[in-house]
Chains A and B, each alone.
Chain A
C-alpha cells in the first residue's frame, strides 16, 4: 500500500457495503481516500445518512471496511486502540463513576499508578473548567459539562488522533459556541490530529482547518476546502469571525450545496 510508510492518518480507498438482512445492500461509503497530517484538524460535513459515522467508526476500528484500509503512522488499523480516542455525542460517560474516575479511566486501564495520572487529571480538570467538580457523579452535571468530561477523558489518554462524532450536537446554541472555543484551544495546546464530524455548517467552517463535504448514495467525498478560520479563531473572537463576509460567503456556498443534495435525495418532492 502506497501511503503505508508516512506519518499521520491515511484513509486509503475505503468502501463500505452493508448487506441488509432482507437481501439488498447499502453502499455507505465508496472509494473514500483522504490524508491527514499530524496535528491537522479536519471537519466532516454532509447530509444525514451520507456515511459520516460509518467513516469515523472505520477509522476508530469499530468496523472493518469491505474494501480499502486505514493507516495511522504507517501501521494498519485493525481494531480500537488507545492511540485513537473517541468523543461521542452523549451518553458515553460511565455514570457509575465520578468525574475524576471517568477522566482517569484510560490511564487506570493501562495499569498506571495514581501518582502518574493524578496530576495530569487535575490539570485536565482545570483546563476544561471543572476543577471543583472532580468528585461529583457525572449524571449531576449539565450536558455541556458532561461533554467537557468526555473531552478530558479522551485527552487523559494522550491519543495520537481524536475522533469526534457530533460531540456538540446535543448542546444548546450558547453552550455549543463556548465548547467550540474550547475545542479550538485544546487543539492548539495539545497539537492533536482531530477528525470532527458535525452537521452544523457553521461549526464545520469555524473549527475545520480542512473541511470535507460528503455526498450520499453512495457516501463519498464531494468537495474539500482549506479554511483560515480555525487559525484565526485562536486570536480573533469567534463572534467576529462568524460575522465576517468571507465566513458568511463560505457558509452560504456550502449550505446551498448541501441543500441541493438533500433535494436530490427527496427526488424533487420538495417542489
Chain B
C-alpha cells in the first residue's frame, strides 16, 4: 500500500535564512521581515527602505570634502570658509553676538515674526475660509481676490510693502500675515467643502441646530486641513521672513546674512544659512508632532 502513494517531490531543504540584525535594518542595508518575503519589489513603493547608510555616507562625504578643501586651500575662504573659521566665528557670535545683538536674539526675532504672521493670518483666514465654504455671498465676494493672490509669491509684494509701510516691524509682519492669510483661507475653505454630506445629515437628524452643526461637525471635520494649512503657512512664512530680512531689517537671521555679506564675512553667512535650515526643519517637525497629537483622526473618516 505504501507503494501506491505518489511520491512528493523532494523539497529543497535550504538552510534557514539568517535573520538580519536590527542594526542592519535600521541602516537600510537589510529589508524588514515583511518586505523580505515579497517577490515583487520593483514598483512597490513600500518595499523601498530608509537607505540610511547611504544617507550617512552622503553627509560624511560632504563634510569630508569641506574639510579637505579647507585644509588644502582649494577654495578661497571668501567663497567658502574652512571648518576652523566657522568654529571660531560661531564661538565669537555666541559670545559677542552679531553687531551688538546676541545670536539667539537674531534667531528669536525671525521666529517671532513668523509666529505673529501665521497667528494673524489664521485668525482672519480661518473664519473667511469658513464663510467662503458655507455661503455663496462670501464665496462670490472673496473668490476673485483669493484666486488672484494665490499664484503671487509673497516676495513679489515686498517692494509694495516697503513703499507703504517702510521697513519697520509692521511692514514685515503685515507681509507675513498676507502670506499666511491666503494659505489659511484656502485650507479652511477646503476643510469645510470636504465634509461628507452624510455627517451633516446625521447631525441634523439627531436634532442639531445650524450653529451646532457648524461647531460640532464642520469645524472638527475641517481641523486636519486647517492644521495642514498652518504647517504650510509656517514653512512659507519662514522662507518669506528670511527674504524680507535680506531686503530690509536690522535684526533677524536674514539681515545677519546680508550684513555679513557686505563685510565679506562668508563664515557668518554660512552659519546663518545652516541656522535657517535647522529652524525650518525644526518647525516642520514640531508641527507634525502637534498634528499627530491634536488631530489623530486625520484621514480616518
Contacts and interface: CB of A to CB of B under 8 A. Distances in A.
B201 A94 contact: no
A263 B14 CA distance: 58
Contacts of B216: 94, 105, 109
Contacts of A81: 205, 207
B217 interface: yes
A88 interface: yes
A86 B197 CA distance: 13
Given A95-B300, A96-B297, A109 B207 contact: yes
B212 interface: yes
Contacts of A88: 198, 201-202
B207, B212, B220, B296 — which one has the most chain A CB atoms within 10 A of its CB? B207
Counting chain B CB atoms within 10 Å of each CB, which of A94, A95, A96 scores highest?
A96
Contacts of A92: 196, 198-199, 201-202
Contacts, number: 71
Of the four ranges (under 10, 10 to 19, 20 to 34, 35 or more), the interface on chain B belongs to 20 to 34
Contacts of A106: 206-207
Interface string A86-103: 101001101111000000
Contacts of B297: 95-96, 137, 139
Interface string A43-55: 0000000000000
B146 interface: no
Nearest to A159: B205
A81 B202 CA distance: 10
B248 interface: no
Given A94-B217, A96-B223, A109-B212, A85 B300 contact: no
B208 interface: yes
B149 to A, nearest CB: 30
13 contacts: A60-B201, A80-B204, A84-B205, A94-B220, A96-B295, A105-B203, A105-B208, A109-B203, A109-B216, A110-B207, A139-B301, A154-B206, A159-B205
Given A96-B223, A109-B209, 18 more contacts: A60-B205, A79-B204, A82-B206, A84-B205, A85-B206, A86-B201, A86-B205, A91-B196, A91-B198, A91-B199, A91-B301, A92-B199, A92-B201, A94-B203, A95-B300, A95-B301, A105-B203, A157-B207
